Amino acid sequence: MAIDISDRPLPADRAGSPQLLLEVDNLHVEFRTRDAVVKAVNGLSYSLSSGETLAILGESGSGKSVSAQAVMGILDSPPGFVTNGTIRYRGENMLTMPEDQRRKIRGRRIAMIFQDALSSLNPVFTVGDQIGEMFRVHLGMSKKDSRVKAAELLDRVRIPSAKDRVKDYPHQFSGGMRQRVMIAMALSLDPEIVIADEPTTALDVTVQAQIMKLLSDLQQEMSMGLILITHDLGVVADVADRIEVMYAGRVVEEADVGDIYARPAHPYTEALLKSIPRVDMKGQALSTIPGTPPNLARIPAGCAFHPRCHRAQAICATDEPEFAQVALGRRSRCHFWPEVLDAQR
């Protein structure tokens, strides 16, 4: 008999010592299409504690969004399938629990913020209706009460004159305001974990700064675990505690935020850091990573990064590197990580 986690009371003191909330272990996700099997996530493992910000960094097609969808249980299936691994929320494997139980966790304990707020909001309902839906569906509130709650939430994400704006439709909001509505919706039921999938990619920098500040303020207030999925190394440096760098469906490097920027231990991270221009530095020739990210239906043998790697040797094309421990809490999936690390001195 499975225990219904969602009815367990929330721990009284959430600001106390960090608790392990989520453990993802050896997660595999593939998409079975007519032509090929696309291996989007190949053995992803990470853990998240309360109050922590974990950044999942990767380019398009690295599997970062798909892994988040798998954790949320919103993977399009078919064609997407979780073929291996476990996802534990407070020790319970979410992949084996019955759907009705998982549904109680989704939205209530683990919430998600999507990249494109305009297409994630329903254009024919007011934002008040859409935020209120969380309360009606999960808590069985009346329509009237849920609208009051929705106004409170809009106020909390600092939307001016929230009471009037609950009656507005998504198109009446600007991009930044829409993203605030998305955040309000995600936070409505006091989740313990929020997964933000590229929350600011579609926004201008000044608005991005507003939204990131709002997110980190709210996170501290509520002591949530935040998973930030992004390709922006700048945003990560500003807010994350730990980083998982993904490439071709695998984590290639895992480290605390300070270590990874100061001394990367994987050639991909190293190259990525060197290939971005910085606003506080004068232009010099950018070093680039040759080639393009691999097609996930045909991931190169051995180390998936070897065709683009300037350190690649014969062994890289044949043997897949282990996820070696570099230091405590720090791992790199490269045969030559000591050399990479030494080169940064």
Partner 1 sequence: MPSDEVILEVKDLVKYFPITQGIVFKRKIGDVRAVDGVNLQLHRGETLGLVGESGCGKSTLAKLLMVLERPTSGVAEYKGDDMYSLSGKALRRLRRQIQIVLQDPYTSLNPRMTVGDIVGEPFEIHPDVAPKGDRRKRVQELLEVVGLNPEFINRFPHQFSGGQRQRIGIARGLALRPEIIICDEPVSALDVSVQGQVMNLLEDLQNEFDLSYLFIAHDLSVVRHISDRVAVMYLGKIVEIGTEDEIYETPTHPYTQALLSAVPVPDPTLRGLRNQIILQGDVPSPVNPPSGCRFRTRCWKAEDLCAQEEPLLVVRETSAGHPSACHFAEQRDVVHAQAEADVEHIEVEGSGESSVDSAAHTDDASTAAVP
**Does 319 contact partner 1 by CB under 8 A?**
no
Indicate which single residue of 18, 175, 300, 307 sits in contact with partner 1 (rule: CB under 8 A). 175
- Max CA distance (Å), the chain: 67
Interaction residues for partner 1, span 45-64 (CB under 8 A): 59-60
- Applying CB under 8 A, among 208, 219, 269, 332 the residue interacting with partner 1 is 208
Query: Is 250 in contact with 304 (CB distance < 8 Å)?
Result: yes
In whole angstroms, how far apart are CA 166 and each of 39, 114, 274?
A: 42, 20, 45
**What is the pattern of x (binds partner 1, CB under 8 A) and - over residues 183-202?**
--------------------
By CB under 8 A, what part of segment 229-248 binds partner 1? 231-238, 240
**Shortest Cβ 84–partner 1 spacing (Å):** 28
Comparing CB distances to partner 1, the nearer of 129 and 270 is 270
Amino acid identity, position 343? A
Q: Does 177 bind partner 1 (CB under 8 A)?
A: yes
Residue 41's DSSP bridge partners are: 29
Residue 43 binds partner 1, judged by CB under 8 A: no
Question: Is there binding between residue 9 and partner 1 (CB under 8 A)?
Answer: no
In sequence order, what are the residues at sequence separation of 6 or more whose Cβ sits closer than 8 angstroms to the Cβ of residue 164?
none
Does 141 engage in binding with partner 1 (CB under 8 A)?
no
Smallest separation (angstroms) from partner 1 to the CB of 278: 6
Beta-carbon contacts of 274 under 8 Å, excluding residues fewer than 6 positions away, are 286, 287
Contact between 282 and partner 1 per CB under 8 A: yes
17 binds partner 1 (CB under 8 A): no
Quick one: 174 or 318, whose CB is closer to partner 1?
174
Site map 283..312 versus partner 1, x via CB under 8 A: x-xxxxxx-xx-------------------
Q: How far is CA 12 from CA 17, 153, 183, 226, 272, in A?
A: 12, 22, 24, 20, 42
What backbone torsions phi and psi does residue 136 show, to the nearest 5 degrees?
-70, -45
Give whichever of 44 and 162 is closer to partner 1, judged by the CB atom.
162
- Does 220 bind partner 1 (CB under 8 A)? Our answer is no
Site map (CB under 8 A) of partner 1, residues 100-119, x = contact: --------------------
Q: Which stretch binds partner 1 (CB under 8 A): 31-39, 71-79, 147-155, 270-278?
A: 270-278
User: Is residue 35 near partner 1 by the rule CB under 8 A?
Assistant: no
For partner 1, the closer of residues 109 and 242 by Cβ is 242
By rule CB under 8 A, what count of residues binds partner 1? 49
Measured N-to-C along each axis, helices 175-187 and 127-139 cross at an angle, to the nearest 10 degrees, of: 10
> Contacting partner 1 (CB under 8 A), which of 277, 314, 328, 345?
277
343 in contact with partner 1 (CB under 8 A): no
Interface residue list for partner 1 (CB under 8 A): 59-60, 160, 174-177, 204-210, 212-213, 231-238, 240, 257-258, 261-262, 271-273, 275-283, 285-290, 292-293
